[in-house]
Chain A
Amino acid sequence: MDLEEEAFKIISKHKDGIFQNTIWKELDIDSRKCSRIIKKLQDKDLIIREVAVSNGARTYLLRAKEEAKEKYDLLLSGEMFSACTSCTGDCQPEYCGRLSEWISNLPIEEEGAGEAEETEDVGEPQEVEDVGEPQEVEDVGEPQEVEDVGEPQEAEDVEESQEAEDVEEPQEAEDVEEPQEA
C-alpha cells in the first residue's frame, strides 16, 4: 500500500475529520511530503480540507468525501444491484422482469407500507405480487405471446377445452391454434 492510500485510509477512519499535522506524524513522514500527498487526494476529489487550529497551531482539518459513494447507493434496491448490470437480453424496459423486480423491491426500503397500499388498491395481495414477479412477466408477459393467444376466438377455445391451468405450456398453445389454421 502506498502512502497516498494509507493517508486516505487514516482520513476515512476519522469520521469527524483529522488534523493534517497529526497525519504526517502517524505516517512517519515530514510535513512537506504529507502536503503533497494531501494535495493529490484533494485533486482526486477524495477529501475536503478546511483551515483549523490545533493546540494553537494553524493547520488543516481533513475529512473524506462520502457523497461520491452515497450517490451510487441509489443503484441498489434492497440488496439487488441495478437490474441493467450485466444484462445480455434484448433491452425492453417496458416488459423487463428484472427491472420490475428491482422497482418492486424499492418500497421496502423507502416506505414499508408501500406493498400493503398496492395490494389494497386491487384487493387480493397474492394476485398483485404475482403479476409483479419477473418469472411470470417473462413467461407470459411478452407482447408476442400475448398477441398469439390474445385473440378472442382463442380465449373462447381455451375456456371450452377447460385447459386453463395447462395453457402456459407452448405445445398446448400450439395445439389450440392448429384447429383454427385448419
Chain B
Amino acid sequence: MLVDFNDRVIRGYLMSLIGEEGLKMIENMPEGEVTDEEIAETSGVLLNTVRRTLFILYENKFAIVARERDSNSGWLTYLWHLDFSDIEHQLMREKKKLMRSLKTRLDFEEGNVFYVCPQGCVRLLFDEAIETEFLCPMCGEDLVFYDNSVFVETLQKRLDALISS
C-alpha cells in the first residue's frame, strides 16, 4: 500500500512516534532487508537513533526483522525492512485511544466546578478550593471562578465529530 509521508496526518503521526530524525531515517531507508548499520550509513542518522527508531516502529508493527545466524562465527545478524501497510489500523487504534481520553476529560470538566488563581498558579476543584479557603496555595491570591464552557463546547464538538466519523 502506498503511504504518503507528506500527508499531514501520517506525518504528524510518525512525527509523534519517532520524531524528525526517525522520519529522516524512513525517507532515506535503503531498499530490501538491511542491517541497522547500513541504515545509519545510508540515511546519515546516528546508529543509536536508528536502533531506537526501529524499536519503536517494530512495537507499532511497521518494522519487520529477520534473524540470520552466521554459520562460521555463530553471530546473529538482524535484517530489517519497513512495511506501512498496517498504518490505517494503527491510526484507528490511536483514534480510539484519544476518544477514550477525551470522553473521560469531558465527563470531568462537565461534572466539576473549577477555581483558578488569577496569577495562573493552579486550577482547583470546588472542594479543593474550599479546603484552601479560596486562596491560592501557591501565592495566596484570592481564587476566581473558572468558566470552562468554551473548553467543554470545543471538546464536545470534536468528540462528536470523532464518534460520527
Contacts and interface: CB of A to CB of B under 8 A. Distances in A.
Contacts of B136: 155
A86 B155 contact: no
Interface string A126-154: 11111110001100110000110111101
Contact of B98 (A9, A75, A147, A154): A75
Interface string A56-71: 0000000000001111
Nearest to A159: B140
B16 A81 contact: yes
A15 B163 CA distance: 27
Given A117-B150, A146-B124, A164-B138, A84 B8 contact: no
Given A76-B9, A104-B151, A155-B137, 15 more contacts: A75-B94, A76-B8, A81-B12, A82-B97, A93-B104, A106-B158, A122-B116, A124-B118, A128-B146, A140-B138, A146-B137, A151-B132, A152-B132, A159-B140, A164-B140
**B interface: dominant SS:** helix
B165 A71 contact: yes
Contacts of B131: 150-152
A129 B131 CA distance: 25
A9 B2 contact: yes
Interface of A: 5, 8-9, 44, 68-77, 79-86, 91, 93-94, 96, 99, 103-104, 106-107, 110-111, 114, 117-118, 121-124, 126-132, 136-137, 140-141, 146-147, 149-152, 154-155, 158-159, 164-165, 167-168
A142 B137 CA distance: 13
A82 B16 contact: yes
A73 B155 contact: no
5 contacts: A76-B12, A79-B8, A130-B119, A146-B122, A147-B128
Nearest to B118: A127
A150 B124 contact: yes
Nearest to A168: B138
A96 B100 CA distance: 13
Interface residues of B, number: 56
B46 interface: no
B121 A140 contact: yes
Contacts of A8: 2
Interface of B: 1-2, 7-9, 12-13, 15-17, 56, 88, 91, 94-95, 97-98, 100-102, 104-105, 108, 116-124, 128, 131-133, 135-140, 144-147, 149-151, 154-155, 157-158, 161-162, 165
Contacts of B150: 107, 114, 117-118, 121
